[in-house]
Amino acid sequence: MARRLADALDAAALPYAIGGALALGVWGFPRATNDVDLNLYLEVDALGAAFAVFRRAGCTVDEEQALASARDRGDFSVKAGAMRVDVFVPSVPLYDSARTRIRQAPLEGRPAWFLSPEDLVVFKMLFFRTKDVLDVERLVAFAAADFDRAYVRRWLVDLVGADDERLARWDRLLADVDGIAR
Protein backbone atom coordinates (compact mmCIF):
# COMPACT_ATOMS: atom_id res chain seq x y z
CA MET A 1 0.00 0.00 0.00
CA ALA A 2 2.83 2.44 0.80
CA ARG A 3 4.27 1.93 -2.69
CA ARG A 4 0.88 2.51 -4.30
CA LEU A 5 0.36 5.70 -2.27
CA ALA A 6 3.85 6.99 -3.05
CA ASP A 7 3.30 6.42 -6.78
CA ALA A 8 -0.10 8.15 -6.70
CA LEU A 9 1.15 11.13 -4.67
CA ASP A 10 4.23 11.50 -6.89
CA ALA A 11 2.05 11.39 -10.03
CA ALA A 12 -0.17 14.13 -8.58
CA ALA A 13 2.88 16.16 -7.45
CA LEU A 14 1.57 16.23 -3.86
CA PRO A 15 4.35 16.58 -1.26
CA TYR A 16 4.58 13.71 1.22
CA ALA A 17 6.97 11.70 3.35
CA ILE A 18 6.51 8.22 4.72
CA GLY A 19 7.14 7.97 8.44
CA GLY A 20 6.55 5.43 11.20
CA ALA A 21 7.85 1.88 11.08
CA LEU A 22 8.45 1.98 7.32
CA ALA A 23 10.82 4.95 7.68
CA LEU A 24 12.38 3.26 10.68
CA GLY A 25 13.18 0.29 8.45
CA VAL A 26 14.89 2.58 5.95
CA TRP A 27 17.03 4.44 8.50
CA GLY A 28 17.69 1.84 11.14
CA PHE A 29 16.06 -1.52 11.39
CA PRO A 30 12.84 -3.12 10.24
CA ARG A 31 9.89 -3.48 12.59
CA ALA A 32 6.53 -5.08 11.84
CA THR A 33 3.61 -2.72 11.38
CA ASN A 34 -0.08 -2.89 10.54
CA ASP A 35 -0.38 0.57 9.06
CA VAL A 36 1.22 3.21 6.88
CA ASP A 37 2.16 6.56 8.42
CA LEU A 38 2.15 9.35 5.89
CA ASN A 39 3.09 12.99 6.39
CA LEU A 40 1.25 15.09 3.84
CA TYR A 41 2.57 18.61 3.36
CA LEU A 42 -0.76 20.23 2.48
CA GLU A 43 -2.89 22.65 4.42
CA VAL A 44 -6.33 21.40 5.44
CA ASP A 45 -8.03 23.56 2.79
CA ALA A 46 -6.08 21.73 0.06
CA LEU A 47 -6.86 18.17 1.19
CA GLY A 48 -9.51 17.63 -1.49
CA ALA A 49 -6.77 16.87 -4.02
CA ALA A 50 -5.26 14.31 -1.65
CA PHE A 51 -8.62 12.63 -1.06
CA ALA A 52 -8.96 12.07 -4.81
CA VAL A 53 -5.45 10.59 -4.94
CA PHE A 54 -6.19 8.29 -1.99
CA ARG A 55 -9.32 7.02 -3.74
CA ARG A 56 -7.40 6.36 -6.97
CA ALA A 57 -4.87 4.38 -4.90
CA GLY A 58 -7.67 2.18 -3.53
CA CYS A 59 -8.40 3.87 -0.21
CA THR A 60 -11.75 4.63 1.38
CA VAL A 61 -12.01 8.22 2.60
CA ASP A 62 -14.68 9.76 4.82
CA GLU A 63 -14.00 13.35 3.76
CA GLU A 64 -16.13 15.03 6.39
CA GLN A 65 -14.55 13.11 9.24
CA ALA A 66 -11.04 13.45 7.77
CA LEU A 67 -11.36 17.22 7.42
CA ALA A 68 -12.69 17.61 10.96
CA SER A 69 -9.92 15.46 12.39
CA ALA A 70 -7.24 17.25 10.34
CA ARG A 71 -8.46 20.61 11.64
CA ASP A 72 -8.84 19.47 15.25
CA ARG A 73 -5.86 17.15 15.69
CA GLY A 74 -3.59 17.48 12.66
CA ASP A 75 -4.21 13.94 11.46
CA PHE A 76 -6.79 11.62 9.96
CA SER A 77 -7.04 8.03 8.78
CA VAL A 78 -8.11 6.39 5.55
CA LYS A 79 -8.59 2.68 4.90
CA ALA A 80 -7.12 0.46 2.23
CA GLY A 81 -8.96 -2.79 2.78
CA ALA A 82 -7.94 -3.95 6.25
CA MET A 83 -4.94 -1.61 6.34
CA ARG A 84 -5.13 1.78 8.04
CA VAL A 85 -3.25 4.74 6.61
CA ASP A 86 -2.57 7.42 9.21
CA VAL A 87 -2.13 10.79 7.53
CA PHE A 88 -0.49 13.68 9.38
CA VAL A 89 -0.84 17.27 8.16
CA PRO A 90 1.03 20.40 9.29
CA SER A 91 0.02 21.13 12.87
CA VAL A 92 3.29 22.17 14.54
CA PRO A 93 6.18 24.35 13.30
CA LEU A 94 8.37 21.26 12.80
CA TYR A 95 6.52 20.42 9.58
CA ASP A 96 8.14 23.27 7.65
CA SER A 97 11.60 22.09 8.61
CA ALA A 98 10.77 18.41 8.11
CA ARG A 99 9.53 19.10 4.60
CA THR A 100 12.88 20.60 3.60
CA ARG A 101 14.72 17.55 4.97
CA ILE A 102 12.77 14.66 3.41
CA ARG A 103 14.96 12.10 1.69
CA GLN A 104 14.43 9.61 -1.07
CA ALA A 105 15.09 5.94 -0.41
CA PRO A 106 14.06 2.73 -2.17
CA LEU A 107 10.62 1.32 -1.49
CA GLU A 108 9.97 -1.93 -3.33
CA GLY A 109 12.78 -1.12 -5.75
CA ARG A 110 11.78 2.44 -6.62
CA PRO A 111 12.39 5.76 -4.86
CA ALA A 112 9.88 7.20 -2.41
CA TRP A 113 10.06 10.12 0.02
CA PHE A 114 10.70 9.47 3.71
CA LEU A 115 11.06 11.61 6.80
CA SER A 116 14.69 12.21 7.68
CA PRO A 117 15.92 10.08 10.58
CA GLU A 118 16.10 13.17 12.78
CA ASP A 119 12.54 14.29 12.04
CA LEU A 120 11.29 10.74 12.55
CA VAL A 121 12.93 10.80 16.00
CA VAL A 122 11.37 14.16 16.90
CA PHE A 123 7.89 12.97 15.89
CA LYS A 124 8.34 9.72 17.82
CA MET A 125 9.47 11.63 20.91
CA LEU A 126 6.39 13.84 20.61
CA PHE A 127 4.14 10.76 20.64
CA PHE A 128 6.28 9.29 23.45
CA ARG A 129 4.64 5.89 23.58
CA THR A 130 6.77 3.02 24.90
CA LYS A 131 7.19 1.60 21.39
CA ASP A 132 8.25 5.02 20.09
CA VAL A 133 10.97 5.40 22.71
CA LEU A 134 12.23 1.89 21.91
CA ASP A 135 12.26 2.78 18.21
CA VAL A 136 14.24 5.94 18.95
CA GLU A 137 16.75 4.03 21.09
CA ARG A 138 17.38 1.54 18.30
CA LEU A 139 17.54 4.15 15.58
CA VAL A 140 20.02 6.32 17.47
CA ALA A 141 22.14 3.30 18.42
CA PHE A 142 22.54 2.38 14.75
CA ALA A 143 22.41 5.89 13.26
CA ALA A 144 24.81 7.07 10.62
CA ALA A 145 27.69 9.25 11.72
CA ASP A 146 25.96 12.34 10.30
CA PHE A 147 22.83 11.92 12.46
CA ASP A 148 22.17 15.43 13.82
CA ARG A 149 21.51 15.02 17.54
CA ALA A 150 21.56 18.79 18.10
CA TYR A 151 18.75 19.26 15.57
CA VAL A 152 16.58 16.76 17.48
CA ARG A 153 17.30 18.42 20.81
CA ARG A 154 16.61 21.92 19.44
CA TRP A 155 13.22 20.86 18.11
CA LEU A 156 12.30 19.05 21.30
CA VAL A 157 13.11 22.17 23.33
CA ASP A 158 11.10 24.33 20.91
CA LEU A 159 8.09 22.00 20.88
CA VAL A 160 7.86 20.69 24.44
CA GLY A 161 10.08 22.98 26.52
CA ALA A 162 13.32 22.48 28.39
CA ASP A 163 11.61 20.99 31.46
CA ASP A 164 9.55 18.34 29.66
CA GLU A 165 10.17 14.68 30.47
CA ARG A 166 10.59 13.89 26.76
CA LEU A 167 13.68 16.08 26.60
CA ALA A 168 15.06 14.51 29.78
CA ARG A 169 14.43 11.06 28.28
CA TRP A 170 16.21 12.09 25.05
CA ASP A 171 19.26 13.25 27.01
CA ARG A 172 19.33 9.99 29.03
CA LEU A 173 18.92 7.95 25.88
CA LEU A 174 21.95 9.63 24.30
CA ALA A 175 24.02 9.08 27.44
CA ASP A 176 23.02 5.40 27.44
CA VAL A 177 23.83 4.94 23.75
CA ASP A 178 27.17 6.72 24.15
CA GLY A 179 27.98 4.57 27.19
CA ILE A 180 27.35 1.38 25.23
CA ALA A 181 29.45 2.61 22.30
CA ARG A 182 32.57 2.97 24.45
Q: Does position 31 have pLDDT exceeding 90, yes or no?
A: no
Q: What is the pLDDT of residues 50-81, one digit of tens each?
A: 999 999 999 999 999 999 999 999 999 999 99
Residue 64 has what pLDDT?
97
In sequence order, what DSSP letters do the residues of the chain get, joined into one string? Answer: -HHHHHHHHHHTT--EEE-HHHHHHHHT-----SEEEEEE---GGGHHHHHHHHHHTT-B--HHHHHHHHHHHSEEEEEETTEEEEEE---STHHHHHHHT-EEEEETTEEEEE--HHHHHHHHHHH--HHHHHHHHHHHHT--TT--HHHHHHHHHHHH-TT-HHHHHHHHHHHHHHHHH-
Look up the pTM and report it: 0.94
Residue 181 has what pLDDT?
58
Indicate the burial class of 19 (C-beta count within 10 angstroms; 0-12, 13-18, 19 or more).
Answer: buried
Indicate the burial class of 96 (C-beta count within 10 angstroms; 0-12, 13-18, 19 or more).
Answer: exposed
| Helical axes 165-181 vs 149-160, angle rounded to 10° | 160
What is the Cα–Cα distance from 65 to 153, expressed in whole angstroms? 34
What is the Cα–Cα distance from 104 to 112, expressed in whole angstroms? 5
